[in-house]
Structure formats: structure tokens, C-alpha cells
Amino acid sequence: MNVQVIFVDDEEAIREAVREWLELSGYAVRVEASAEDCLKHLDADFPGVVISDLRMPGLDGMGLLAAVQALDRELPLLMVTGHGDVAQAVEAMRLGAYDFIEKPFTAERLLDSLRRALEKRRLVQENRRLRVQAAFKDQLEGRLLGVSRPLLQLRRQVLDLAATPVNVLLRGETGAGKELVARCLHDFGPRASKPFVALNCAAIPEQLFESELFGHESGAFTGAQGKRIGKIEHAHGGTLFLDEIESMPLAQQVKLLRVLQEQRLERLGSNQGIAVDIRVVAATKPDLRDEVQAGRFREDLLYRLNVAELQLPPLRERREDIPLLFEHFARQASERLGRPQPALTPAELAQLLAHRWPGNVRELANAAERHVLGLSTSRADDSDEEPSLADLMEAYEAQCLRQALARCQGDIKAVMELLRLPRRTLNEKMLRHGLARSEFLPGEEP
């Protein structure tokens, strides 16, 4: 459980009494004997409240208040004062303390003030999270492209989870964009300034896996010429992305589980523990529960990794995104190759919409590059299953609307005339396909 309260007092008897009161009331509490020790456990994301005695050796309560205010002016600090210090406590309130509690105090008085302070902290952090999500929303739409319902839901889930420290398991087919989603979880969260370290578990020979993941000391094994920092240690403070996690050898699964539990690792050939702070995003094609049943994956590690699970939809389940994605990849290929971007014919678009896309977004990007090179975009399907006429019509309608809005630069009246649609009908169709006029205004990137 995350610490909700840090109580600071230089008298051990008071610390232990307050600890007992708070723990019996269901709070997770840390007690410290000095303000200096308290500050070691605080940052701007601390979710709780600080309660501090006013008079202490070294840095006193007023000094701690100043340090907390410098860290985060909205982090509540409750000041505990003696009878003769009320005037100073009032001054502390003026300088930003949340409340003061006069000694001797009852558990009820302390808990009442604490409950109110924690609720204030919760609201502050929730408002911050919502502001960050609003700021990131447009940026994320430019990374995870699409207007389909599965994609809209995925973007909402990524924004929600990016702000949290929990480990995430991504499930999806080959080419569905698992690494892109992992990168977004990192880039739109508080660890964005720290390393994002990716490791494909299927690409590492089993005999080198431990060294690659945990690092090694010089001479740890034959050929170990010098010290090497492993992927986990390199990701300290940031995100470790483990792709194809189902391929990790069982022996290494045990060691990874221990690192996640203890937040410490030992390099190969060393007995010294190293503290690590990482968030793990793991990706898999098969259901890891089936791998557990088959004895190929540890159940306890699955629970550590699968705190939250995101299912990435295959491209065939979001066909209305195909025209938008194809246009995006074709534009990128055109810029990279220095070639003009040919327009799609209705027949070519129909082929794209009818294809099953077993390689998902990665296969679509390849098709877009071939299109720019003037090569055929036709696809030989590997399945007899065809999309319904309704699916094809919806995707084609979305593409026509997008092209008309781009051609008219977001001028709704011009789009109505071009498509011969009444205003209400056009509005309903734009809403259904997730299209906004603002995307197509001059100077905006469609």
C-alpha cells in the first residue's frame, strides 16, 4: 500500500502512539524522527499528507514547511504545536500549512484534520491528472491514429494508465503496434524524461539472457571482459518494455519476479544489491494464462506483470481506420523516398478494405510504401472470411468525408455542396466517424 501519511516528531513515544492510532484507522503511515529524513521520501507526486511537530532539533517544522512548499505548494502539511506556540502555528497557516493541531490532542482531532487533508490532496492530484490528459490528448491522437471505436477506447486506456506506476501487459497480434503503445505509455506519463528500454525476449539466446537483463561484472563468465549494465539497470527511473515475454526462459522469470518484488537486482558475478525503480510494460501474442497452464510461464510473475491489461485490436476489426492509416504511411513514404504520393483509386481502396491484413498495421505500412513506389497494392487473402458490406460502406464513407473535409479545408458549407448533404446529415456522419472540422483548417495537420 502506498504511504498516505508521514508523521515527523523527535520523540519516539509520540511517534509510536500516532503510528498506532493511524494504522488502527486503516492508514498506511511512515514515521520519521527528523524533517531531513522526511524529505527523503517526498516528491511532487507524493499522494498523501505530512504531519510534523513544530519544535525539533535541526530542521524544525517551519523549515520543513518551507521545503514542502518549494516541492509542491499544494501538498498538505499539518503542524503539531505546544500551547505556547499557537502564534507561530498561525503564522505557519499563513505561509501555507493546511492546519495546526495543539498538544495534547486526541486521536479524533488528528483523524478529522487528516481526513480532510487527504481528500484535498486526492482532488488536487485528480485535477492535475485530468489537466495532463487534456494536454496529451491531441498529441496521442497523432501517435495512435484512428477513428474507430476500438482505437478511441485504446487511446482513453493509454491516457488513463500512462499517469499511473502500474505494470501493464499488452496483448495483440504481430504488427498490431504493441511497441508503439508501450512507448506512448512511457512518453505520456511521469517517467517520460527517463529511459525507455526495449528488449525482445525471443531474440536473445538463452545462455546470454541473464547477462542481457541483469548485467554482469568483469570475469563473471568466459568472455566477460568488463562490467556491463543490464537492461533493467539501464531502465532505472523509466520503463522496461519486454516484447514477446512468453519467450523468456523459466529460470530468468524467477529472477525477474524477485527484482520486481524487492526492487533490487544483482549483476551476474556480484553479491552486491542495486536498487532499481522501473515500470514494466510486457507484450505477448498468446494468452499468458494458457502458457501458465502449459507450464511455460510462472503464474506469480503473470500477476506481477498483469496489473492492467490492454488488448490491441487487429486491423481487420477497425477497417474504418485503414484509409487514414494508409494515407499517413503513404505520406511518410513519399517524404522519405522523395517520390510523389499517388492518389488511391476506388478499386484500390476497395481492395485495401477487403483484405484481412494478417500482418496488421505493419503490413499496411508496407503496402503504402509499395503504392508510393508504383507497385501493386493488391493483396491475396489468406482467409475466406470477408468483411460485410456494411463494414466496407462505413469505411468508404469515412474516407470520402475525410477527403472532402481536407479538400475544402474544413469549410463545412463547401463540404455540404461538394457531397450534396444537408447540414444535419453531415454533422451526424462526422460525429459517427470521429471527424472534427478543426482537424482540416488551414495550418492544421489532418
DSSP 6-43: EEE-S-HHHHHHHHHHHHHTT--EEEESSHHHHHTT--
Confidence of residue 217 (pLDDT cuts 50, 70, 90): confident
Do 304 and 257 reside in the same domain of the chain? yes
Do 321 and 309 reside in the same domain of the chain? no
Confidence of residue 395 (pLDDT cuts 50, 70, 90): confident
Say how far apart CA 437 and CA 405 lie, in whole Å. Answer: 7
Residue 41 lies in a domain: yes
Q: Which helix (H) or strand (E) holds 242?
A: strand 239-243
Higher pLDDT, 226 or 351: 351
Residue at a domain's end among 284, 313, 342: 313
- Residue length of the chain: 446
**161: closest CA among 279, 73, 241, 245?**
279
Residues 167/280, Cβ–Cβ less than 8 Å: yes
Residue 42 lies in a domain: yes
Confidence of residue 224 (pLDDT cuts 50, 70, 90): low
Do 230 and 81 reside in the same domain of the chain? no
**What pLDDT score was predicted for residue 436?**
82
Say how far apart CA 136 and CA 130 lie, in whole Å. Answer: 10
Question: 3 to each of 43, 46, 72, how far by Cα in Å?
Answer: 13, 9, 17
Higher pLDDT, 218 or 294: 294
Place of cell 492544421: 444
pLDDT of 135 strictly over 70: no
Say how far apart CA 280 and CA 198 lie, in whole Å. Answer: 10
Q: Rounded to 5 degrees, what are φ and ψ at 114? A: -65, -45
Amino acid code (one letter) for 166: V
Place of cell 502449459: 294
Question: 303 to each of 162, 240, 260, 440, 446, how far by Cα in Å?
Answer: 19, 17, 11, 45, 41
Residue 133 lies in a domain: no
The shares of helix, strand and coil residues in the chain, as percent rounded to the nearest 5, are 50, 10, 35
pLDDT of 82 strictly over 80: no
- What one-character-per-residue DSSP string does 114-177 give? HHHHHHHHHHHHHHHHHHHHHHHHHHHHTTS---SHHHHHHHHHHHHHHTS---EEEE--TTS-
**What pLDDT score was predicted for residue 401?**
86
**What pLDDT score was predicted for residue 384?**
46
Residue 137 lies in a domain: no
Do 214 and 279 reside in the same domain of the chain? yes
Residues 302/264, Cβ–Cβ less than 8 Å: no
The predicted model gives 340-361 an average pLDDT of 87
pLDDT of 446 strictly over 80: no
Question: 395 to each of 2, 392, 429, how far by Cα in Å?
Answer: 46, 5, 12
**Residue 268 CB neighbour total at 10 angstroms:** 18
Do 243 and 280 reside in the same domain of the chain? yes
Contacts of residue 380, defined as CB under 8 A and 6 or more positions apart, other chains included, come to none
pLDDT of 376 strictly over 70: no
CATH number at residue 151: 3.40.50.300
Residue at a domain's end among 260, 281, 313: 313
Do 303 and 322 reside in the same domain of the chain? no
pLDDT in tens, 255-284: 999 999 999 998 888 888 899 999 999 999
When mean pLDDT is compared over 46-55, 135-144, 347-356, the highest value belongs to 46-55
Say how far apart CA 252 and CA 258 lie, in whole Å. Answer: 10
pLDDT in tens, 153-163: 999 999 889 98
% of the chain at pLDDT higher than 90: 51
Do 155 and 303 reside in the same domain of the chain? yes
**What pLDDT score was predicted for residue 45?**
82
pLDDT in tens, 27-72: 999 999 999 999 988 888 888 999 999 889 989 999 999 999 999 9
CATH number at residue 342: 1.10.8.60
Place of cell 493511524: 22
- Count how many domains the chain has: 3
pTM tops 0.85, yes or no: no
Do 164 and 277 reside in the same domain of the chain? yes
3-state SS of 81-125 is ECHHHHHHHHHHHHCCCCEEEECCCCHHHHHHHHHHHHHHHHHHH
Residue 360 lies in a domain: yes
The predicted model gives 161-168 an average pLDDT of 92
Residue 61 lies in a domain: yes
Say how far apart CA 148 and CA 281 lie, in whole Å. Answer: 24
pLDDT of 223 strictly over 70: no
**What pLDDT score was predicted for residue 445?**
42
Say how far apart CA 86 and CA 88 lie, in whole Å. Answer: 5
**What pLDDT score was predicted for residue 152?**
86
Residue 242 lies in a domain: yes
Contacts of residue 131, defined as CB under 8 A and 6 or more positions apart, other chains included, come to none
Do 295 and 190 reside in the same domain of the chain? yes
Contacts of residue 91, defined as CB under 8 A and 6 or more positions apart, other chains included, come to none
Residue at a domain's end among 313, 334, 351: 313
**Domain containing residue 50:** 5-126
CATH number at residue 65: 3.40.50.2300
Residue 131 lies in a domain: no
CA atoms 238, 242, 248, 253: torsion sign: positive
3-state SS of 320-381 is HHHHHHHHHHHHHHHHHHCCCCCCCCHHHHHHHHHCCCCCHHHHHHHHHHHHHCCCCCCCCC
Q: What is the mean pLDDT of the chain?
A: 87
CA atoms 137, 139, 141, 143: torsion sign: negative
Do 121 and 214 reside in the same domain of the chain? no
Whether cis (ω within 30° of 0) applies to the bond prior to 104 is yes
Do 294 and 364 reside in the same domain of the chain? no
Contacts of residue 434, defined as CB under 8 A and 6 or more positions apart, other chains included, come to 147, 148, 152
**What pLDDT score was predicted for residue 238?**
95
Higher pLDDT, 386 or 215: 215
Residues 117/138, Cβ–Cβ less than 8 Å: no
Do 88 and 178 reside in the same domain of the chain? no
Higher pLDDT, 1 or 353: 353
Residue 281: left (phi > 0), alpha (psi -120 to 50), or beta? beta
- Give me the half-sphere count of Cα atoms (radius 13 Å) on the Cβ side of residue 123: 7
Helices 178-187 and 149-162 meet at what angle, rounded to 10? 40
**What pLDDT score was predicted for residue 444?**
45
**What pLDDT score was predicted for residue 381?**
52
